């Protein structure tokens, strides 16, 4: 990983799309700083296409797609994308699985949650679970005392044993039934909303994230950025982002936003 401050301006000039994780990437200490929201608005106004790529639930994503200065959002680790068309007052919702399949999956995940909480009583179902449509989020540090690595790994193993996929974020272990991740749904969004083959334009994309569930994105995009707090997860994966910020969370994201906006101003 190289310091973000060393990225060549010519690389930044090529960037048309910014993809960003939310928790501990846009947020700082669990909150979205006003400066980060303002930076999103400035990037959007400068013509940068913005797409958060998050593990957060459908209910939150519906709100963000409507209210934030963004061009779409991928949620629940790739289960869907939402895109709000302001001019038509229409929300485009695209799911990986049909409604009947999602209902079946929810019943299986409900049973699995009982098993996990019985085995690891210190864990909790995430507070945002009521707003989820496709996955089960187990809180490992957001509203509970941080769980040990041994217990987090046991949660992961229980998801895997049940035939589910599981990923660790900075706050949750998310599990779901379905062969998708953040990257696969991002491909669909680019093709169906932006009319772009992601492979053909990935050199115009920069992704910024912070945790193991971002690893497929770090691996795919040549220009990928980790905020400084990613260092706590690097021993869990051989995949690393190309660049790293000096600051953590949303403050690190502001470093990237400032660099992009600076290049935009120089080219005007």
Q: Which long-range contacts (CB under 8 A, 24 or more apart) does 71-74 make?
A: 71/44, 71/193, 72/189, 72/193, 74/182, 74/185, 74/186, 74/189
Q: How much is the pLDDT for 234?
A: 80
Q: What is the pLDDT of residues 3-35, one digit of tens each?
A: 999 999 999 999 999 999 999 999 999 999 999
Please say if the pLDDT value at position 164 is more than 70: yes
Q: How much is the pLDDT for 31?
A: 96
- Rounded CA gap, 184 and 180, in Å? 6
Please say if the pLDDT value at position 127 is more than 90: yes
Kindly report whether the global pTM for this prediction surpasses the value 0.85: yes
| pLDDT bracket for residue 89 (50, 70, 90) | confident
> Which domains, and CATH codes, for the chain?
2-96+180-266 (3.40.50.1000), 99-176 (3.90.1070.10)
| 225 and 241 Cβ atoms separated by less than 8 Å | yes
Q: Which residues, 6 or more positions from 215, have their beta carbon under 8 angstroms from its beta carbon? A: 237, 239
Q: How much is the pLDDT for 170?
A: 86
Mean pLDDT of 208-232: 93
Please say if the pLDDT value at position 199 is more than 80: yes
Mean model confidence pLDDT for the chain:
95
Q: What is the pLDDT of residues 101-126, one digit of tens each?
A: 999 999 999 999 999 999 999 999 99
């Amino acid at each position: 990983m190289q310091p973000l401050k060393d990225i060549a301006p010519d690389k930044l000039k090529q960037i048309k799309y910014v993809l960003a994780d939310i928790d501990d990437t846009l947020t700082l200490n669990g909150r979205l700083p006003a400066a980060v929201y303002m930076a999103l608005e400035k990037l959007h106004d400068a013509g940068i296409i913005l797409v958060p790529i998050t593990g957060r639930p459908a209910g939150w994503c519906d709100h963000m797609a409507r209210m934030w200065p963004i061009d779409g959002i991928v949620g629940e680790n790739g289960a869907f994308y939402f895109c709000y068309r302001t001019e038509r007052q229409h929300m485009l919702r695209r799911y990986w699985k049909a409604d009947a399949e999602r209902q079946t999956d929810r019943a299986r995940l409900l049973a699995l949650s009982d098993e996990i909480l019985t085995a690891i009583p210190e864990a909790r179902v995430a507070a945002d679970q009521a707003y989820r449509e496709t996955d089960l989020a187990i809180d490992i540090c957001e509203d509970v005392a941080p769980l040990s690595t041994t217990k987090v790994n046991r949660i992961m193993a229980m998801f895997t044993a049940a035939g589910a996929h599981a990923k660790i974020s900075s706050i949750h272990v998310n599990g779901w039934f379905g062969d998708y991740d953040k990257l696969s749904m991002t491909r669909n969004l680019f093709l169906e909303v932006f009319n772009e083959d992601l492979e053909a334009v990935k050199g115009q994309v920069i992704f910024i994230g912070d945790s193991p569930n971002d690893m497929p994105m770090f691996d795919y995009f040549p220009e990928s950025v980790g905020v400084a707090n990613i260092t706590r997860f690097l021993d869990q994966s051989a995949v690393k982002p190309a660049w790293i910020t000096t600051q953590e969370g949303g403050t690190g994201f502001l470093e990237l936003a400032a660099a992009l906006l600076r290049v935009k101003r120089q080219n005007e």
